[in-house]
Amino acid sequence: MKLWDKGQVVDSMIEDFTIGRDREMDIFIACSDVLGTIAHITMLESIGLLSKEELQALKKALAEIYSEMSEGRFIIEQGVEDVHSQVELLLTRQLGDTGKKVHAGRSRNDQALLDIRLFTRDSLLDIAEDMHTLFKALQSQSEKYREVLLPGYTHLQVAMPSSFGLWFGAYAEALTDDLHLLSSAYKINNQNPLGSAAGYGSSFPLNRTLTTQLLGFDDLNYNVVYAQMGRGKVERITAFAIANLASTLSRMATDLCLFISQNFGFITLPSEFTTGSSIMPHKKNPDVFELIRARCNRLQSLPGEIGSITGNLPSGYFRDMQVIKESFLPALAEIQLILRMTSFAIDKVSVNTQILEDPRYRYLFSVDEVNRLVLSGIPFRDAYKMVGKQIEDGIFNPETDIRHTHEGSIGNLCNDKIAGKFALHFAEFDKAKIERVKADLLGLTE
């Protein structure tokens, strides 16, 4: 079945090539398609294109299809082009001509646009929750090991004292900015494109404000041409937010791979979190962090890929957009898996509390020694030269009592302030509202 079928036979090679992976990809957005259809037919009834009896019969049938999808029993049959066609086919089998009425006032273009927006919204809500879980794990470790010092590096050279409180807390605050960017993508995505049809509106008196309210969107894309131009653009914006988050996770994974190596020996993982070698019996490899890094690095290429597909398209719809789904939809699930695995592993990291007893790290305290001399009244440049001379002469013997007190330093982590920033951005993701919207559409609330 094809929604555009006019009785003409399409060459089988052309058909296979143009359908591509749609049947596979559309399983991601199947539930969203049903919810969008319920909102659309509710609107159609309000403008006289469906009777109340037809609406009730359609909503009941669609709720049953949604249940099949939620339970993993839904399939797109062979010979059916996509999820939109399959849903309409099931409705027509059950309700006859009534099932054929659901497409009035919309095109596959705005139907696909809507489905992707709804699926992306659900995914971003889940990603935000997974980020919250990781944030709490990082902050917990920061507090647990706040007094444990470790070397800070610049140019991979021993530089100044740091602490595990700072290190874990740094990535927690990085997640705060990542969440801020993700909330921007969420808001841009959370606008209703339904009613733009093929990109030029409809001669039906559609009530686009009603579908916006029914689907829980914050607003709608008013200009129907721009609504279609948003296909690909919104995905790229979302992909950029995901890539930004992936960059943070990749960098953290690299730190952890270094820290767990024998040359550093800063942290350990339980044996069950590591893998071995086929010929070296002593090996305990941090494969989990290496794979997190690789998967995150792959995700960082996604905005460029989408930009390359859409970069030279004129306004209006083009089939090029179909290809974006193949990378974009799985990426939303991929970043969730990465976040959950990272949280799981971070929670099991144990820290070496005796790192700085190794004499190779004594130069960490050179800056603190300079500052101590300055506090005693010696000009900074003179103090710098004095300490430098001691190091050159091999007589440097610093005090190792660290007294950093300013905001965000070893002795004043400001984890509560960082948590406040995170909470502010996290509150912008109202998952409870969206769950109520779904329940209302499916008739699960009184």
Shared-domain flag, residues 351 and 402: no
Confirm whether 202 is a catalytic residue: no
Confirm whether 425 is a catalytic residue: no
% the chain with pLDDT above 70: 94
- In CATH, what number is assigned to the domain containing residue 335? 1.20.200.10
- Which range has the worst mean pLDDT, 84-88, 129-133, 332-336, 442-446? 442-446
Note whether 273 and 288 are within 8 A (CB): yes
Shared-domain flag, residues 89 and 45: yes
In a domain, 209, yes or no: no
The full DSSP string for 352-413 is -TTGGGSGGGGGGGHHHHHHHHHHTT--HHHHHHHHHHHHHHT-----------STTBTTB-
Q: According to the model, what pLDDT value does residue 19 have?
A: 63
Shared-domain flag, residues 181 and 262: yes
The model's pLDDT over 309-320, given as tens digits with 9 standing for 90+, comes to 998 888 888 888
Of 368, 400, 364, which Cα lies nearest the Cα of 384? 368
Name the 3-class secondary structure at 198.
coil
Cα separation values, 263 from 250, 259, 267, 431, Å: 21, 8, 11, 45
Cα separation values, 405 from 2, 139, 275, 380, Å: 68, 19, 41, 20
More confident position, 22 or 79 = 79
In a domain, 137, yes or no: yes
Give the pairing of strands 350-351 and 219-220: unpaired
Catalytic residue of the set 12, 155, 278, 406:
155
The count of structural domains within the chain is: 3
Residues 6+ apart with CB under 8 A from 180: 425
Averaged pLDDT of the chain: 92
Calculate mean pLDDT across residues 327-356.
96
- In CATH, what number is assigned to the domain containing residue 18? 1.10.275.10
- 3, pLDDT greater than 60: no
Q: How far apart are CA 193 and CA 205, in angstroms?
A: 16
Angle, nearest 10°, between helix axes 30-46 and 108-144? 130
In a domain, 439, yes or no: no
Of 232, 233, 208, which Cα lies nearest the Cα of 221? 208
Q: According to the model, what pLDDT value does residue 190 have?
A: 98
Shared-domain flag, residues 116 and 167: yes
The model's pLDDT over 45-54, given as tens digits with 9 standing for 90+, comes to 999 999 999 9
- 188, pLDDT greater than 90: yes
Q: According to the model, what pLDDT value does residue 5 have?
A: 55
Shared-domain flag, residues 227 and 290: yes
- 405, pLDDT greater than 50: yes
Q: According to the model, what pLDDT value does residue 277 have?
A: 62
In a domain, 438, yes or no: no
pLDDT category at 95 given cuts 50, 70, 90 is: very high
Shared-domain flag, residues 76 and 145: no
Q: According to the model, what pLDDT value does residue 4 have?
A: 44
Catalytic residue of the set 51, 70, 261, 277:
277
Shared-domain flag, residues 232 and 341: yes
Shared-domain flag, residues 299 and 248: yes
Q: What residue type is assigned to position 275 of the chain?
A: T
Shared-domain flag, residues 121 and 251: yes
Residue 100 per-residue DSSP state: G
In a domain, 208, yes or no: no
The model's pLDDT over 262-312, given as tens digits with 9 standing for 90+, comes to 899 999 988 887 776 667 767 778 889 999 999 999 999 999 999 999 988
Q: How far apart are CA 334 and CA 215, in angstroms?
A: 26
Shared-domain flag, residues 82 and 120: no
Q: How far apart are CA 133 and CA 342, in angstroms?
A: 10
Shared-domain flag, residues 343 and 365: no
In a domain, 206, yes or no: no
In a domain, 404, yes or no: yes
Domain span holding position 53: 12-101
The model's pLDDT over 202-256, given as tens digits with 9 standing for 90+, comes to 999 999 999 999 999 999 999 999 999 999 999 999 999 999 999 999 999 999 9
Shared-domain flag, residues 370 and 270: no
- 131, pLDDT greater than 50: yes
Cα separation values, 59 from 75, 236, 397, 413, 435, Å: 20, 33, 79, 54, 18
pLDDT category at 10 given cuts 50, 70, 90 is: low
In a domain, 334, yes or no: yes
- 1, pLDDT greater than 90: no
Calculate mean pLDDT across residues 7-13.
64
pLDDT category at 11 given cuts 50, 70, 90 is: low
